[in-house]
Amino acid sequence: MRSIEHSAGFDISQPVEKVFPLFSPEGEKLWVPNWDYKNIMGTTELSEDYVFLTATHDHASTDAIWLVKRYEPKARFVQFYRVEPEDKVGMVTVQCSRISGRKTRVEVTYQYIPLSEKGRRFIDGFTIEFFNKFIGEWRDLLLRYFDSAGQPPAGADRIDRVF
């Protein structure tokens, strides 16, 4: 079975120190409507090998198991494995880079590997157009979050997105 990988990026007028922490299970709660996760580690401090669970977010048709593969906070880099047993395995990579004191570049890569016919059908529909729209929603939600003085976006549309 074939895999699929897409990458996209956007710039946001916020310091990298404020942007990067938002790409964690706890950080996502601040800007992604309806985002939640099950903390099974007993801590909210992100580290390599951190494990958490989500329910039907981020292109998921079933609950997902998330594992932090790489976490390099000084480099503002995080990479997750997400496993939907009997469906697909994904790898999500986020790299934040300082453009200037108040501007950050966010680069995101999603790679999926099917584990079944259902996963293959998903991959067939995971087009670059779909992915670019999805990452555009990330940017829009982050802008809403920062525009509301760092408060969760009130009444924002739901987005199927997870970390």
Mean pLDDT per 10-residue segment, the chain (163 residues):
92 97 95 91 94 78 90 98 94 97 96 95 94 96 87 40 34
Question: What is the model's pLDDT at position 40?
Answer: 94
| Residue 19 one-letter amino acid | V
Question: Any idea what DSSP says for residue 55?
Answer: S
Report the distance separating Cα 9 and Cα 139, nearest Å.
Answer: 9
**Structural domains in the chain plus CATH codes:** 4-147 (3.30.530.20)
CB 98 within 8 A of CB 115: no
Question: What is the model's pLDDT at position 155?
Answer: 40
| Residue 92 one-letter amino acid | V
For 41, 42, 102, 157, the CA distances from 67, given in Å and listed in that order, are 11, 15, 31, 27
Question: What is the model's pLDDT at position 154?
Answer: 43
Tens of pLDDT, residues 20-45:
999 999 999 999 988 899 999 999 99
Residue 135's contacts (CB-CB under 8 Å, 6 or more residues apart) are 8, 9, 10, 108
Report the distance separating Cα 116 and Cα 88, nearest Å.
Answer: 7
Question: What is the model's pLDDT at position 86?
Answer: 86
Question: What is the model's pLDDT at position 82?
Answer: 94
The SS3 of residue 73 is helix
